[in-house]
A and B are shown apart, each in its own frame.
Chain A
């Protein structure tokens, strides 16, 4: 592959995309920072939270957070802290935000990874299968299931699954996140399945559409007419369809984050999503800011990875970039 295009093109492409990503994150960080001032009420009061207030305490808060400085300098001050890994202190628990996050990030990451793997392993093959049987009763049934799956709210599905498997059948535990590797998997199974149902339905639809789209193309009938074996035709189609499918996996990543919030609350998991929900209710703004910014960063980097994948997989994109 590197024989085909010079190193220069890859580097240039990556740098351009990195710059665009960085710009986007800067814009997001600005909005995230502004959340403090956009929240109704006096920022100092909000930062104080439910603690006892007095003019002196408020004044010390103002000094601590530089609230009397011009807006932009406040922003840069905050941004500087962020780039050093310092997101401030949680109002609720009075611990460093970073520490709070570090405790919970692992659980959320495990849940997300579990759901992601389930999705990829199930939804994509089923999507390919449905496309090859397009129009049949099997295909239509799976499609109906997928449409229901995409539209069903994850917390409702989660609770129903909890009822069936947790309470009724007692296969999976109802609460908690477990200790040790296998125990963790067992505890995370229902939440991951809940997440995977919603996302998997979406990936299934996108895969099916992508493969169907390729099957309709003339090059497929030309390949068949030349006497290529069904396996050869299939691999040709998949090579083409892979591009939109992997792109869709990247898109789905964004949905994953919205879903973990609800699923963690439903299954009482101490992950980042649950922390965000409770922090919002509590108006613990530094925590909210940190989680939002981190989420944006992860999503933006995923989008960058998808772009790079596109670059590697589709020769037409490479040609356009080299031009």
Chain B
């Protein structure tokens, strides 16, 4: 693998950084006088969509939403998965293998189906209408707006389906080193199980788990796009790459190919960057020494 195709990825990361640190526009204005403007029209670098919104602006705002969802979901999933796998490895053989069978059985279901099932559960009105007041205030839920609730439910649905790999990795890594001598030494010095986990075992599995977390960020972004595309994720009032794609059906009707193409390219570039990072990180040092 040569180095030059790192250049577009670098430019892409630069764009993302720009989106993240630039001053937020005051929302995305619907301008029905300027619908379906072609790219490079005056004032609209990437044109407008079929609702007259500036594609560049919603793409930049969408970068924030999509990346925040990706990072939040990956963080949540990896921390829960690590704790689950670590506890499974440290508890007895029966409980540990029971915990891992739960993971295995959930892994056998395609993740998008699990996503659908979970979002059917979480988006129930009887669940969302009876949140405690403090949660409602924190999320900015009022009679007129759902506030952050869609974002939070998308993040939790994605995390609920993607913690499984992290749990498996943590479990296998920790059960492999659980009986090493230095762990025994720590125990004989009087360290409790939790302290051993925190000080020795989890730091030892950290490298693998970090790689998994990186891969999960792009998975989560794709999952959000899929959910929003189906109409189960974020609506048009919360710009994200997925909700831009949701708009695609309307846009195709007007012959507007550029508005959906922008989020499609951005999502693919994100996945590509993460895949290349993963390829570098996961590649064995020398593939020719794999076999004898």
Determine if chain A interacts with chain B: no
